[in-house]
Amino acid sequence: MKPSIPKGTRDFSPTEVANRTYIINTIKTAFETFGFQPIETPSFEKSSTLMGKYGEEGDRLIFKILNSGNFFYEKDSIDLPESYEKLKFNSLDDLESKEKIELNRFTNRISGKALRYDLTVPFARYVVQHQNEITFPFKRYQVQPVWRADRPQKGRFREFYQCDADVVGSKSLWQEVEFIQLYDTVFTQLGLAETTIKINNRKILSGIAEVIGAQDKLIDFTVALDKLDKIGQEKVETEMLSKGITSAAIQKVQPLFSFDGNNQENLDALAKMLTTSEEGTKGVEELRFVINSISELGLQSASLEVDVTLARGLNYYTGAIFEVSAPKGVKMGSIGGGGRYDDLTGIFGMKDVSGVGISFGLDRIYLVLEELGLFKTVALPKPKVMFVNFGENEALYCMKAISQLRVKGIKSELFPDAAKMKKQMNYANKREIEFVVIVGSQEIENDEFTLKNMVSGEQSKCSLLELIQTLL
């Protein structure tokens, strides 16, 4: 039987761990530079904490944990609900609400826990649960794995790391400004030039829906608009008409079709278009504040771009929406995302606490850096010196010296077996260990060591003191 790991999971080699640690440390250092503090939460939560927070699609992707116990034993046995039979021949939508409740109750009996789906909802739970210990505004960061029962593909895994930074308890738009700076800082330090930070505002999307007179058509509208540079204005309008958006409505939002990437002009066009919508106008003002502040402060390597088709996280974002795309030419989805949610803790009973945050997708950033060859050669942890093992007496003599070296902080090890010289040298060579110490009866007699430099091939005899001095 060949051993293997579950679909969508990965093993990491020493080199990969070193590279991942490098990325994580860069992100964590930036987080702390911006004043965030770390927290951690459990890898699994109660199902009730997670279910219903990510929309219907999200619920499907949550990994549920089976309760302990054997449901077929007499004493633990659970009867299948009657509506289960009906479900075999009907879709969920055909069931009566009473039957759905019965099914949910059954699910709760067999599964009450689920793996963390993201870091934002557990954070909201944390804030509500610890509200009396927290000083607001609370700035926390969190770097932990999350799990999704998704089908794997390029840059998509079932277990992956998110690196989140969020602020709760402040409605200040300076937070949005700082998060853009934070993105810029991290990607600049990673050498990932020319990332694009796309920004939108939920209030603008609501405003557009108001102007076209159809709140429920907003998704269809943005999806169609998103295709503008691929299929052209004419086909986009055709698609909108086919989705039931009137041509009068399309006329009202004509400026959207002539966006040219200049943020100021785009903002002006949006403002003009949304004058009749109070909420839309508010959104434009918010966006303008962020854009103007950033253009005053400047960015190192990223560019900030208004993108009205950005409609991610529509379920919970209420203000700014962020998404970071990889440098042009790299085929990869977003490597980061985030936004403002005015009432996230509301679902856990704590009203009127505004939050805003961003996330870095570690695994995708890894893939992008790898594709662009941006990993610096990370030094793998390895000993500086290896002692050849000739037998019990020699090994003991070596271990005494090794203890001294380790006290001095010199990474050193003894080859564990008295194997053939060739094998031992080969091992040192493969691991690219810089020095080898050879001790036989002769060296023991003279109380000395033979030190060999594996790069130059030179070797000489020396005392313990000289050994330490050379290796330090």
- The stretches of 359-446 forming alpha helices (DSSP H) are 362-371, 392-407, 421-430, 441-446
> CB under 7 A: which stretch of 42-50, 286-294, 328-336, 377-385 binds RNA?
328-336
C-alpha 34/C-alpha 184 separation (Å) is: 12
- Structure token pair of residue 267: 């903002």
According to DSSP, residue 409 is labeled T
Tell me whether residue 220 is annotated as binding.
no
DSSP secondary structure, 218-270, as one string: HHHHHHHHHTHHHHHHHHHHHHHHHTT--HHHHHHTGGGGG--S-HHHHHHHH
Contact with RNA (CB under 7 A) among 459, 464, 466, 468: 459
First to last CA, the chain: 48
Q: Which residue has the tokens 């690196």?
A: 163
145 binds RNA (CB under 7 A): no
Pick 206 or 277: Cβ nearer RNA: 206
Q: Least CB distance from residue 434 to RNA, whole Å?
A: 9
Binding string, 159-188, against RNA, x = CB under 7 A?
Answer: -x-x--------------------------
C-alpha 204/C-alpha 200 separation (Å) is: 8
Pick 53 or 288: Cβ nearer RNA: 53
Residues 97 to 126: which contact RNA by CB under 7 A? 118
Q: Least CB distance from residue 33 to RNA, whole Å?
A: 21
C-alpha 432/C-alpha 423 separation (Å) is: 14
Q: Least CB distance from residue 406 to RNA, whole Å?
A: 22
Residues 325 and 307: beta-carbon distance below 8 Å: no
Contact with RNA (CB under 7 A) among 57, 74, 133, 447: 57
3-state helix, strand, coil in the chain (%, to 5): 45, 15, 35
Q: Least CB distance from residue 417 to RNA, whole Å?
A: 11
Binding string, 386-425, against RNA, x = CB under 7 A?
Answer: ----x-----------------------------xxxx-x
C-alpha 330/C-alpha 371 separation (Å) is: 8
Contact with RNA (CB under 7 A) among 207, 327, 336, 355: 336
Residues 330 and 222: beta-carbon distance below 8 Å: no
Q: Least CB distance from residue 299 to RNA, whole Å?
A: 19
Pick 118 or 466: Cβ nearer RNA: 118
Which residues are near RNA by CB under 7 A? 2, 4, 6-8, 55, 57-58, 118, 148, 150-158, 160, 162, 219, 223, 312-315, 324, 331, 333-337, 359-361, 363-364, 390, 420-423, 425-426, 428-430, 438-443, 450, 452, 454-455, 457, 459
